[in-house]
Amino acid sequence: RAEAAVRDREDRWSRFRPGSEVSRLNAAPGRPVIVSADTWTLVALAVEAWHATSGTFDPTVLVSLEAAGYDRSFELIDRPLGAAPVPAPGPAGIELHATSSAVVLPPGVRLDLGGLAKGATADAVADELMAAGVSGCCVNLGGDLRVRGQAPSPAGWVVALDCPGAPDTRRV
């Protein structure tokens, strides 16, 4: 069930999947796109985070990422990343219509909800597992880690961390 929940959210939120809700949004500048309630909430959260951080967090970095060469999944990139920085336009003009779950991206604004989507997925899956009656769970989505409930050992949750350049893996 947890794997299906992760796949479902990736199908809706990955910018690398042409049929995802995020890809449909990015392909429809200036036009309303009806999205799921979860996607609408995630976009609203991203805009709110932009405001709360005075633009330090910016979900409209897709053009910048693609200009740097990050135009496909990391495992498929066959050249060094890097290019002159391209400024992100910011989400100030994004329209969110709650009653219809519609989002309108202004022309020139494209979303990458990557890290935020992974974190939201990890939270949701951990919460869903706990609601299903597990005593404890650890959800790891490529470094976005959530633990809930009872740890599997008296030592608590033990997580190995890779430390590049360090002689041994550290444990926290």
Contacts of 172 (CB under 8 A, 6+ apart): 158, 159, 161
At residue 172, does pLDDT exceed 50?
A: no
DSSP three-state, residue 70: coil
Q: Which of 119, 109, 23, 118 shows the shortest CA–CA distance to 72?
A: 23
d(CA 147, CA 135): 11
Q: Residue range 147-151: average pLDDT?
A: 95
Tens digits of residue pLDDT in 113-135: 988 999 999 999 999 999 999 99
Where would I find the beta strands (DSSP E) of the chain?
32-34, 95-97, 102-104, 136-141, 144-149, 160-161, 170-171
Instruction: Tell me what percent of the residues of the chain surpass a pLDDT of 70.
Output: 87
Q: What is the DSSP letter of 109?
A: -
Tens digits of residue pLDDT in 25-78: 999 999 999 999 999 999 999 999 999 999 999 999 888 887 777 666 656 656
